[in-house]
């Protein structure tokens, strides 16, 4: 298994991702009944998305605190984030729902935020060092 020594940028990007996931997860899970109508998105969809984000936030927080990580774990985080952005755009482009103008802005803003954090994670991964099985940088 390919391991890396996390760069400070990667650790910070993962911590930002964890914080954003936790905040958005709590907001969507708790406030879905109040957000559904103004956003034009189904309450169950919002609540479900929020509940999915909470364990993701916990996993990201754990990763952000580790100095040595499997490279595959970071690639999985990046891949999941890219999928999140793609699904967000699909919500708008494929007509799965009928969001209001505020809903469209909400979906685009959170997709852009995820895209930015993902870019930082990719840069941070590039700045991280590969480590040998003994834990020494290559």
Going by C-alpha positions, the residue among 124, 133, 126 that lies closest to residue 3 is 133
Decide: pTM greater than 0.95: no
Question: Where do the domains of the chain lie?
Answer: 3-131
- C-alpha–C-alpha distance, residues 72 and 28, integer Å: 29
Exposure string for 44-80, b = 16+ CB within 10 A, e = fewer: ebbbebbeebeebbebbbebbeeeebeeebbeebbee
CB atoms within 10 A of CB 104: 14
3-62, pLDDT tens digit by residue?
Answer: 999 999 999 999 999 999 999 999 999 999 999 999 999 999 999 999 999 999 999 999
């Amino acid at each position: 298994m390919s391991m890396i020594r996390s760069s400070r940028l990667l650790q910070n990007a993962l911590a930002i991702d964890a914080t954003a996931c936790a905040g958005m997860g709590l907001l969507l899970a708790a406030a879905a009944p109040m957000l559904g109508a103004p956003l034009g998105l189904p309450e169950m969809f919002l609540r479900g998305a929020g509940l999915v984000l909470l364990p993701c936030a916990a996993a990201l927080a754990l990763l952000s605190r580790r100095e040595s990580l499997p490279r595959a774990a970071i690639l999985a985080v990046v891949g999941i984030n890219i999928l999140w952005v793609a699904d967000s755009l699909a919500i708008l482009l494929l007509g799965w729902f009928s969001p209001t103008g505020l809903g469209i802005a909400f979906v685009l803003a959170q997709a852009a935020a995820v895209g930015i954090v993902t870019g930082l994670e990719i840069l941070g991964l590039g700045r991280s060092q590969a480590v040998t099985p003994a834990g020494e940088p290559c």
